[in-house]
Amino acid sequence: MKIGSVLENQVLEKRIAITPELVKKYTSLGFEVCLIENYGFHLGINDDEFKDVGAKIINNESEILDISDIIVQVEMLSNEKISNIKQNQTIIGVLNPYKNKEQLENLAKKKINLFSLELLPRITRAQSMDILSSQANLAGYKAVIESFANFEKAIPMMMTAAGTVPAAKVLVVGAGVAGLQAIATAKRMGAIVFATDVRMASKEQVESLGGKFLTVEGSENLETEGGYAKEASDDFKQKQEKLLSETLKKIDIVICTALIPGKKAPLIIKEKMVEHMQTGSVIYDLAAIQGGNTAYTEVDKVIKKNGVKIMGESNILNKLPISASNLYAKNVFNFVDNLIDKENKKININLEDEIIEKTLIK
């Protein structure tokens, strides 16, 4: 069996799906690893590092896509690259079926097996494959670092002979994986941290990290069976808006992480709220690519409104591509390991396996 990977569109995506340390693991499963020339060069990994552990380096992208039984990527392949895919091959990556529906339907008609890893069920056995958690962890950390770098005051409280510098106050909107990492990072750096989430189960997690959970009066637990947040009622939104309006007046930095899978990001911080924030405050919107949690968010721009900086990037993980690639590649390997019939050295699409059944795009 051959497993291959080609470069992503480097303008949009710097992560890679196979790292040198995993080549030997794939080889032990019975794979020959085929990679495009200069596959990891932009991350400081030269071709020799891949060759030394047994990978085959090929300078023809079309050849890799043609000969590989399994193609692993980060994002969806372009239409041009898809033209090189033949029947019965398998593609694994973050295929985003909500965004690429028509493209994926056409691929499925060609009898290509498509596995989209963001659809993994939230079960214990799938944790080692959970790309959303591994990548969101890094995103939450980096969002804090980026926002602190753009905040023009000190973060921790400092007591000096010249006077006391107060600690920065941080609000994290959405206490999922990214939000919890943002809370932990901000707390480690000396900030006073508040957090809010529609899932009441988050309260204990927030408080265990030293954050203060803002509870909406009469709130219900808006959590799906899979552990994701679901759409809030209009009544909840009004109460949350009132609570946030008052809270934001004393907040220095806001980290927005609220997302609903497959839908536009909920608008949580509205124009009037921004108008009442302190001059010099910073909002970092991790939901920017899905429309943003903040009224003024624009992708890959820093917007200034009433002295408040609003930041949002299309892919914050491009600022941590080495760490992100290492974690992503391990997630992918664990998924492939589960997909393979090791005795017969072939792909086994066992639909009784919840992991395979949930991620397979039919």
Is residue 296 annotated as a catalytic residue, yes or no? no
Alpha helices in the chain (DSSP H): 20-28, 47-52, 61-67, 79-82, 101-109, 131-149, 177-188, 202-208, 234-248, 271-275, 321-339, 354-359
The three-class DSSP label of residue 2 is strand
Is residue 188 annotated as a catalytic residue, yes or no? no
Residue pair 136/176 in contact (Cβ under 8 Å)? The answer is yes
Task: Give, in order, the Cα–Cα distances in Å from 352 to each of 150, 348, 357.
Answer: 49, 11, 7
Pairing of strands 2-5, 163-165: unpaired
Is residue 62 annotated as a catalytic residue, yes or no? no
Q: How far apart are CA 287 and CA 293, in angstroms?
A: 6
Q: How far apart are CA 306 and CA 297, in angstroms?
A: 14
Residue of 73, 89, 103, 130 with catalytic role: 130
Q: How far apart are CA 337 and CA 358, in angstroms?
A: 16
* The one-letter amino acid at 86: K
Residue of 69, 128, 228, 278 with catalytic role: 228
Is residue 127 annotated as a catalytic residue, yes or no? yes
> What tokens were used for 144?
């804090």
Residue of 127, 208, 233, 314 with catalytic role: 127
Residue of 47, 122, 128, 337 with catalytic role: 122
Is residue 52 annotated as a catalytic residue, yes or no? no
Task: Give, in order, the Cα–Cα distances in Å from 269 to each of 123, 138, 176, 249.
Answer: 32, 23, 18, 12
Residue of 73, 133, 181, 219 with catalytic role: 133
Active centre residues (catalytic): 122, 127, 130, 133, 228
